[in-house]
Amino acid sequence: MARSSLLSSLREDHVNAARLLDLLTREAQMIRDGDDVDYDVIEGVLDYFTGYPDAFHHPLEDQVLNRLLAVDPDRAAAIGDLLADHARMRRDTADLFTTLKGVRLEAEIPRDTLLQKLDSFVEMYRAHMAAEEDRFFPLAEEVLGAVDWAAVRQSLEERADPLFSGKEGFQGLRKRLLAFENNL
């Protein structure tokens, strides 16, 4: 079947999200080590995850899944409940954001609470992306044809990734990410 540029875009989003998860992992380690933590970086990453994956990437995946369910419901159902996963991810991102804001406002939030939520967030996102890469994307690539991909494309507004496309927004986070990657 036809390989979709949308699927390539989703895969690229995963690569970019993994880069940001690496950055969060470093910030969590800095908290553990008692080093100075750049809370602006953590907040920027969470702002990005709320603004792009939650608003555009996951809805696109949801449309691909809906198309798969229409074309091959048995095989699509076997990959798991991605719609529920995406809803849980939105809630967990918002919860971590709330915890971070509390820390920044010097609320009585134990360091271990923030660390546990950061670790859970990173682990959840990595596991979710791995499952999609292993099961969801290959099935979509195998089952969906050009007509299906065109239908998915028509159903959503396309938007360039604000962090990785070089467009306006997230310049500070982009600089910090590149500095982090250059120091690896």
89-99 b/e (C-beta count within 10 Å ≥ 16 → b):
bbebbeebbeb
* 3-state secondary structure labels for all residues of 16-32: HHHHHHHHHHHHHHHHH
The tens digit of pLDDT for each residue in 13-59 reads: 999 999 999 999 999 999 999 898 889 999 999 999 988 888 889 98
Residue with tokens 């690896």: 184
pTM here is 0.88
Contact in structure between 114 and 100 (CB atoms under 8 Å) = yes
Per-residue pLDDT reduced to its tens digit, 89-115: 999 999 999 999 998 888 888 888 999
Task: Copy the structure tokens of residue 51.
Answer: 């603004």
Domains, the chain, with CATH or none: 5-182 (1.20.120.520)
Per-residue pLDDT for 178 more than 80?
A: yes
Residue in 5, 49, 14 with CA at minimum distance from that of residue 153: 5
Q: How far apart are alpha carbons 89 and 163 in whole angstroms?
A: 20
What is the tens place of the pLDDT at every residue in 127-154?
999 999 999 999 999 999 999 998 888 8
Q: So what's the pLDDT on residue 167?
A: 66
Q: Is 173 exposed, middle or buried (0-12, 13-18, 19+ CB in 10 A)?
A: buried
